[in-house]
Structure 1
Amino acid sequence: MRRIEILAGIMGVLSLTYGQGATAQVRNTVCDTISYEFIEEKIIIPVTVNGVKAKYIVDTGGKTGTLYDAATEMKASAAGYMSVTDVNTQAANFQEAYIKDLTIGSNYRVKQLKTMVFPKNSFFTSLDVVGILGGDAFAESVVTFDSRTQIMVINYPYRPERLKVTDGIPLLTDAEYHSFIHVQLGETQLRVLFDTGADGFLLYSTEDNNQLAAVSGSQVTNRAHGIVAAGISGLGTPVDIKKVTIPSIKIAGKEFANVGSTTTMMNGSIIGVELLKHGKVIIDYMRKRFYFFPFDEGKTDLGGAPSLWNISILPHNGRFEITTVWDSMKDQVTFGDEVVNINGASLQDCPKSQIAVEKIMNDIPGNSGYIIIRRDNKDKRIEIKKEK
């Protein structure tokens, strides 16, 4: 089951307010190369905070956040509260704290950085990370992502050699350290967030789809009702979902054709980490420029609407429930039905996490399988399939 949205709800958090907590303290000129792990579609790097070694997810679309236990070990100091919204547009308040002496690579150092403080999170634990590093952590640098060698390069204060300002496109200045840019969507421009914390290529907001359907030439290929991901405030309210194919999106001059996506209830649309499969990305936070250098010239066809299972399952109410129902299944299952077995795999002892249930779905061979739902203490087998 391909994730339609941002896994675990912490990734891709969009701040309603954004603190000015980053002050870089760098030794002379910096050009550090950091090898990263790429696990569950997440970029993971090692860092040191106040002498404590840890791993963080690099999330260019979010604000830095740290698990409570790790923040305590790092001797973080309280800094108030902030409000954020999650993938389901639900708001939540988080305590903020200051962490000190953050070191990324050998020489890039942030003297003090404000971080949200997260409660325990099974997704972070499963990845052996303590939180996310947002754009605020890189405010005084130029960051290069190169998926071919799985490295990040941090430059300060200069740009990488031979990189020209005219090669890039502007970061939208009203977003502080979030990497918002304009892309060409059909006959118009679309404001998007480049978010390494978000899975997939395009997460298309319902509002953008409704407003731009005519000029974008997008086609609806399927419909559903449900919840597309767990958020920081829970599962949220079920909504209508559309699966769409957009004929053309151009990013810094590179054209992507047949871009498939599902609509989301987020505040805006997102270009996710899958962009890195197609080219090198450089974000110059200091000069507010965004660069994309494609690996291949010419148009890239992304194959249209994604092939997804025609139901989605998430942990809810202490069990696993059907949380999204596509049109082909609306007469067979109901939102909230308990699922006790997936294609022969019992869920009785399965950890109550999105990753765990998705792994079971991903392990189903081919494009068809079955689930067993339990209603009124009676079990019923339901056939499921992948569809565009």
Structure 2
Amino acid sequence: MLSMRVVCWLLLSLLAVPVAAQQVKSVTPYRVVGGKMIVDMSVNGQMRSFIFDTGGQMALTGELCEELGIAVTDSVTVTDANGKGVSFPKVVVTSLLLPDGRIHFSDVPAMKLSTPSPFECFHADGLIGSDLFKDLMVEIDSKAKTITVSSAEKASTISLRCMIPFSRNGYMPIITLQAGTGNNLVVLFDTGSPGFMSLKDSDYDNLYSGGACQTVSEGFGEGSISVGGMAGMAGSYRARFPVVSVGGTKFRNVISETSTPPYTLLGMKLLEYGKVTIDYPRKRLYFEPYEAEADLTSKHYNVNLRVKDGDLVVATVWSAMKGVVEVGDKVVRINGKPAGKYDFCESIITGIPELKAKKKTKLTIRTKQGEKVIVYQKE
């Protein structure tokens, strides 16, 4: 017969054995609006829309904080997509819930953005960034238009041939690609960046000198808009890479424009070519390609245009138009018809209808030297 001491020891041993943890999984649909991935989440009990941005941090618009009475607790300094250091008030979100209710976040720190909201055009109340998922796994499936968030008790069963380890400490999905042969390129996988790759200036310098890319065109113009505002006027380049390898997948004829982010950005367009899974705790990114190779040969406009105060103006001038038009010149006629007044947000979300009608468009532009007619086209 077992002694009472042995019986107690056995009972304690049984109690000490943990029950195998069951993985929690939540599937959230997303939609693309103006090149941004938009998801819905419940904030303190109210369903709101957010930009899903793996290159960013959790942020709420000032308008939402005021509406929900979310108080400022501290301040935080971040570097935005233009490489600008910006300080924001810090707030704490009591409750953040994925739409199906399966994963709940509490006491979530976030930045309070300035007003008016920089995300007004996307009807979004903030950013959902990588900091929210640093203890979880995230799968992004562009064919199903879903983001699957799951707990990370076990490593992914995806083939290790698809795995790319993080290249930096911390929770951001920063990985290393190959540009050509023997040229490492450290990039941040950033779903907030709508293109395939946005090249950091210093990376361009290094890769160009190493023969990994060629210059297609030189430009001068306005920078992009980020949480810290619009970047100033600067020169830029369009570079062509004969091949860029993401893990074992080769992308040929990649065109990338230079800018000033903290890292070269591998953007949302990657999702068109495969499924991405990020295992944040284990610092791994998996890319499961739909095809072993992809050809990204593309053409780009000889000038960039944007809406300013209702008018269509030149934002960037590329090599073919250098000395012909300048940044800030106003478009007065499109294919001989007077240019209208345009809404800035509509131009971002749906574009300018008159510019989408033909492959080549004649623009009459008012310059300092008088009106000039140019052909707006890709080259």
Specify the TM-score bucket, using the shorter chain as the normaliser.
0.7 to 0.9
Q: Which amino acid aligns with 2:314?
A: I
Matched, 1:220 2:215: yes
Deviation at 1:317, TM superposition (A): 7.2
Matched, 1:336 2:328: yes
Residue of structure 1 equivalent to 2:66: 72
CA distance in structure 1 between the partners assigned to 2:337 and 2:172 by the alignment: 41
Contact 2:39 2:52 in 1 (8 A): yes
Residue of structure 2 equivalent to 1:81: 75
Query: TM-score, with normalisation over the residues of structure 1?
Result: 0.83
Residue of structure 1 equivalent to 2:195: 200
Residue of structure 1 equivalent to 2:6: none
Contact 1:103 1:109 in 2 (8 A): yes
- State percent identity of aligned pairs: 25
Deviation at 1:151, TM superposition (A): 0.9
Matched, 1:368 2:346: no
Contact 1:68 1:120 in 2 (8 A): yes
Matched, 1:182 2:176: yes
Match 2:315 to one of 295, 299, 323? 323
Q: Which amino acid aligns with 2:101?
A: S
CA distance in structure 1 between the partners assigned to 2:110 and 2:149 by the alignment: 21
For structure 2, the residue ranges without an aligned partner over 5 or more in a row are 1-20
Query: TM-score, with normalisation over the residues of structure 2?
Result: 0.85
Deviation at 1:318, TM superposition (A): 7.7
CA distance in structure 2 between the partners assigned to 1:137 and 1:201 by the alignment: 24
TM-superposition CA deviations, 1:25-64 (whole Å, max 9, x none): xx96311111111222221111001101101111000111
Q: Which amino acid aligns with 1:46?
A: D
The total of aligned residue pairs comes to 357
Match 2:44 to one of 42, 50, 53? 50
Q: Secondary structure of 2:202's partner?
A: helix
Q: Secondary structure of 2:225's partner?
A: coil
Give 1:238-317 correspondences, 5 Å limit. Answer: 238-297=233-292, 299-303=293-297, 306-316=298-308
Residue of structure 2 equivalent to 1:93: 87
Judge which range, 275-284 or 150-159, deviates more: 150-159
Q: Secondary structure of 1:45's partner?
A: strand
Judge which range, 107-116 or 161-170, deviates more: 161-170
Residue of structure 2 equivalent to 1:3: none
RMSD between superposed Cα atoms in Å: 2.7
Residue of structure 1 equivalent to 2:32: 38
Structure number with larger C-alpha Rg: 2
Judge which range, 90-99 or 128-137, deviates more: 90-99
Contact 2:25 2:148 in 1 (8 A): yes
Deviation at 1:121, TM superposition (A): 5.1
Q: Which amino acid aligns with 1:326?
A: W
Deviation at 1:69, TM superposition (A): 1.6
Residues 73 and 111 of structure 1: is their aligned pair in 2 closer, same or farther, counting only changes over 3 Å?
same
Q: Which amino acid aligns with 2:273?
A: H
Contact 2:216 2:238 in 1 (8 A): yes
CA distance in structure 2 between the partners assigned to 1:155 and 1:121 by the alignment: 34
Contact 1:59 1:197 in 2 (8 A): yes
CA distance in structure 2 between the partners assigned to 1:31 and 1:232 by the alignment: 31
Deviation at 1:251, TM superposition (A): 0.9
Q: Secondary structure of 1:275's partner?
A: helix
Question: RCO greater where, 1 or 2, for CA within 8 Å and sep 6 or more?
Answer: 1
Judge which range, 48-57 or 232-241, deviates more: 232-241
Residues 286 and 362 of structure 1: is their aligned pair in 2 closer, same or farther, counting only changes over 3 Å?
farther
Give 1:150-161 correspondences, 5 Å limit. Answer: 150-159=145-154
Contact 1:38 1:44 in 2 (8 A): yes
Contact 2:34 2:349 in 1 (8 A): no
Judge which range, 283-292 or 227-236, deviates more: 227-236
Residues 31 and 230 of structure 1: is their aligned pair in 2 closer, same or farther, counting only changes over 3 Å?
closer
